């Protein structure tokens, strides 16, 4: 597949200069940018790997038919295989990144800190290009994050990524147009919400909670974007190669993105109540409520 590449600066991508994960004097503009759905990135943050940790960078460290290795908040690890020493080193490495990510987010957006909920931390040792998936699960297509089985009722999905590729290979992303533009393009094409259907799939165990109308619309936007190949090729977008060592953050339920290639990335997810944003009106929930002229839950 061929996609648009722009060699000029793009308003959806913002660079911040810092050599420390603990940012000094956060700027109000950072909160505005990330709540506008932009991707913020850093080129000079340090994450040093020990000699043993470098040996963990192999696809053989992950269980077959598993996409990611994840470390839960209780210290348990899922998806990893190896010696006891390997697993111990892997847990320590992922936990160190988790702590760095917390320092970064807490110092950049101090008003979020009391309200953020920590999700599992993931290590992704597989090559993006080699993954075989359905079109809905194909993250090489531009999308906003929405999950079929995990309704979140508007809670924000804030993510920190780092490319740790030891061979100098970038993590290549595409970044698309603002969320408001996506809503305008696809909202009328989404099927009406059915409470009865939502109740049925919850009773059948297909969803872990009742799918709300908000979650129905977000999933509709996600699927509409991924299924529209003309949109994938021709919509406003850039391709950005995040070099090894680069760190980037975004609200992935709002920032249109696609992971085109790369291997060996770590990721930390935080969840944030809409009401605790600097400007809740910028959230997908509020944007969709204005557009549909109804209260969504």
Q: Which residues contact 175 (CB under 8 A, 6 or more apart)?
A: 10, 12, 13, 39, 237, 238, 240, 255, 256, 257
Across the chain, where does the E strand assignment appear?
A: 13-15, 39-42, 69-71, 77-78, 117-124, 156-163, 171-176, 237-242, 247-251, 257-261, 265-272
pLDDT per residue as tens, the chain (297 positions): 334 444 434 689 999 999 999 999 999 999 999 999 999 999 999 999 999 999 999 999 999 989 899 999 888 999 999 999 999 999 999 999 999 999 999 999 999 999 999 999 999 999 999 877 899 999 999 999 999 999 999 999 999 999 999 999 999 999 999 999 999 999 999 999 999 999 999 999 999 999 999 999 999 999 999 999 999 999 999 999 999 999 999 999 999 999 999 999 999 999 999 999 999 999 999 999 999 999 997
Q: Across the strands, what pairs with 171? A: 242
Q: Which fold has domain 13-291?
A: Jelly Rolls (2.60.120)
Domain boundaries along the sequence of the chain = 13-291
Closest CA to 140 of 284, 5, 2: 2
**pTM of structure:** 0.94
C-alpha 5, offset from chain centre:
21
User: Quick count: other Cβ atoms within 10 Å of Cβ 233?
Assistant: 13
């Amino acid at each position: 597949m061929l996609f648009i590449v722009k060699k000029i600066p793009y308003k959806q991508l913002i660079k911040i200069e810092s050599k420390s994960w603990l940012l000094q004097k956060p700027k109000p503009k950072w909160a505005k940018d990330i709540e506008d759905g932009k991707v913020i990135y850093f080129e000079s943050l340090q994450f040093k790997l020990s000699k043993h940790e470098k040996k963990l960078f192999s696809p053989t460290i992950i269980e077959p038919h598993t996409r990611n290795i994840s470390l839960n908040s209780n210290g348990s690890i899922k998806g990893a295989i190896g010696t006891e020493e390997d697993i111990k080193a892997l847990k320590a490495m992922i936990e160190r990144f988790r702590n760095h990510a917390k320092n970064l987010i807490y110092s950049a957006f101090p008003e979020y800190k009391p309200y953020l909920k920590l999700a599992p931390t993931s290590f992704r040792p597989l090559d993006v290009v080699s993954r075989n998936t359905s079109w809905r699960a194909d993250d090489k297509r531009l999308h906003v994050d929405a999950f079929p089985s995990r309704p979140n009722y508007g809670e924000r999905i804030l993510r920190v990524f780092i490319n740790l590729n030891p061979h100098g290979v970038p993590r290549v992303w595409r970044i698309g147009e603002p969320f408001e533009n996506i809503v305008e393009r696809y909202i009328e094409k989404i099927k009406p919400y059915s409470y009865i259907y939502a109740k049925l799939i919850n009773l059948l165990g297909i969803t872990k909670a009742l799918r709300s109308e908000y979650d129905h619309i977000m999933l509709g936007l996600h699927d509409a974007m991924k299924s529209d190949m003309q949109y994938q090729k021709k919509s406003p977008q850039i391709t950005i190669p995040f070099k090894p060592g680069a760190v980037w953050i975004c609200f992935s339920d709002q920032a249109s993105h696609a992971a085109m290639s790369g291997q060996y990335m770590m990721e930390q997810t935080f969840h944030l109540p809409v009401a605790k944003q600097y400007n809740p009106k910028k959230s997908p929930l509020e944007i969709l409520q204005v557009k549909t002229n109804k209260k969504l839950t």
